[in-house]
Amino acid sequence: MELRVDRSRIDRCRELAQAIVSPVEEFIAAHSTVSVERAVVRLLGVDGIGADEVPVPNLIVDALSPAQRRDGVALAFGKALAETGLEPRALGEAIAAGKHRLDEFSQTPDAAARGALRPYVEKAMTQIRGRRDERTERLQRFAQLPPPLLYVIVASGNIYEDRTAAVAAAEAGAQIIAVIRSTGQSLLDFVPFGPTTEGFGGTYATQANFQIMRAALDEVSERLGRYVMLTNYASGLCMPEIATMAAIERLDMLLNDSMYGILFRDINMKRTFVDQHFSRMLNAYSGIIINTGEDNYLTTADAVEQAPAVLASQFINEEFAHRAGMPDRQIGLGDAYEINPDLEDGFLYQVAQAQLARQIFPNAPLKYMPPTKHMTGDIFKGHLIDALFNLTSVMTQQTIHLCGMLTEAIHTPFLGDRVLSLENARYIMSTARHFGDEISFKPGGIVERRAQDVLEGCEQQLERVASMGLMHAIDAAVFADVTRHPDGGRGFDGVFERSAAYYNPFEESLRGVPA
């Protein structure tokens, strides 16, 4: 099953994506953010909370003078390590308790700071590499069933209830478990600490919660004889810190989009571009597969009209990911089955879009999201639409498949809803496993013409973005009909220009390392 599309047009789209990302990359190289710096101290081993439950990484970075911040937290913290002889965690606690201030050690040579940091940087890199190797070993012992990998969400707000629901979903056939974050966490400029039991529409992403869920899924993987993957969200104002915690706790996937936070959470675009770059460098090294968020475009605007924008965003996300060192096998580009079911031949349009993405990004683990926007609470119709979504996914060889819920638009799914959803998906994936290998598209038919139109529209959109510049294009509402100003949105005050002396030892270690 192969669409006839113009390869030269695809090549042109990639050229345009490179032209769009290059100037943003120059901005990224000249700037850092408070969340990148907090991720640096977390990687060095700092954790915990201080007065008023403020995380220690926040207390350290917030205490930097403007000049120290422009040099990067590593230099100031490394000087304190050299002078006090404390371990990073103990030094962090001492700073949080007011026993030391980083400006006490400003006269210490930079070389001493770099020397004091080196063993902790090497320790962190070794730890993350070890967690990656552990995943590889477990996947060899507990091979997964073939894709599409069935992905299920849990979101009670209580990590212990989520754990129970996740184990039940795995036992029912789920291959990937995602713990939805509490509503609004993406707007917090800190990461909550410890296990949590009171979220809103989801559960807080904390390192302790990651540990609890990882341990539960490892146990059920051993029992079932197949590896169950764990997913969370590295988006919002703490993207690099969550990527750090995920690398340490061996999460397998992270939602990590280059523009989602800008468009849908009104987070400043400069902050987001810098944060996504460092978080993706970490994701590349830790072997984590990112999931991009193009599916969200289709929940705020018409899916037929936005199809070229979805493809354009996929090209841009791919280019940003490549520049962070990510190989194609870790770039899970997103899409969704969101065309209005009342549209005649809507199924053919869905097939065209899914197959087009499969052919353009042949080595990417594409993530396919279920229908939500047009689900009405009619569970019988919803189950049928989910079946067509499942068929589209298996026939176009999508990789990551979020199971649709027949009770979408009614309530947070019950365990029984998830079981019915998994049964639906398993039936379709089995009975139509090789359907796509047995058919071909009619030359000049509806599917082929639709794919060609989407690709042409994508090229036109990328031409427009390249001529305007990405930041100005977002300001002009080119994506998802949403406008954001380059200096507006949340978190802009956490972006700063690097000095000539800026030092981030992890960025240096991650740059150029084969993923």
Decide if 295 is catalytic: yes
Spot the catalytic one: 71, 162, 252, 295.
295
33: DSSP letter: E
Q: Which residues of 443-469 are buried (b: 16+ CB within 10 A; e: fewer)?
A: eeeebbebbbebbebbbebbbebbeee
Q: Is the peptide bond before 413 cis (omega within 30 degrees of 0)?
A: no
Residue 71 to residue 502: CA distance in whole angstroms: 4
* Residue 253 structure tokens: 């996937």
Spot the catalytic one: 367, 417, 502, 503.
367
Decide if 475 is catalytic: no
Q: Are 274 and 495 in contact (CB under 8 A)?
A: yes
Spot the catalytic one: 120, 151, 204, 260.
260
Q: Are 275 and 297 in contact (CB under 8 A)?
A: no
267: DSSP letter: B
Residue 179 to residue 167: CA distance in whole angstroms: 12
What is the 3-class SS of 170-226, one letter each residue? HHCCCCEEEECCCCCHHHCCCCCCCCCCCCCCCCCCCHHHHHHHHHHHHHHHHHHCC
Helices (H) and strands (E) in the chain, counts: 21, 11
Decide if 367 is catalytic: yes
Residue 31 to residue 499: CA distance in whole angstroms: 9
Which residues, 6 or more positions from 125, have their beta carbon under 8 angstroms from its beta carbon?
285, 506, 509
255: DSSP letter: E
Question: Catalytic positions, please?
Answer: 260, 295, 367
